Amino acid sequence: YGFSATTVMLTRRRISAIEWWSGYHPGICWDEFPEAAYLKAHVVALPLHHELGREDMAYIASTVCEVLA
């Protein structure tokens, strides 16, 4: 699946995933920074905060594995 498809599939499963580093600043020549461009196109932020319990974290982990399989 593509980057956006992954976040959509996780959101449909009640996981607030976001495209962590979306958008490309027009003042930067992204061809000069291929590693950064790759990360911008592939990193998805997942919820991680003090209100999540073990069951929540297990659900997030198993769902991410399922979506990426």
Q: What does pTM read for this prediction?
A: 0.75
Q: Could you give the count of Cα atoms lying within 13 Å of 8 in the half-sphere of its Cβ?
A: 5
Residue 42, pLDDT score: 85
Residue 2, pLDDT score: 57
d(CA 29, CA 26): 8
Residue 3, pLDDT score: 65
Mean pLDDT by 10 residues, the chain (69 residues): 81 91 87 92 90 97 96
Domain residue ranges of the chain, discontinuous segments joined by +: 3-68
User: Which residue has tokens 């930067």?
Assistant: 28
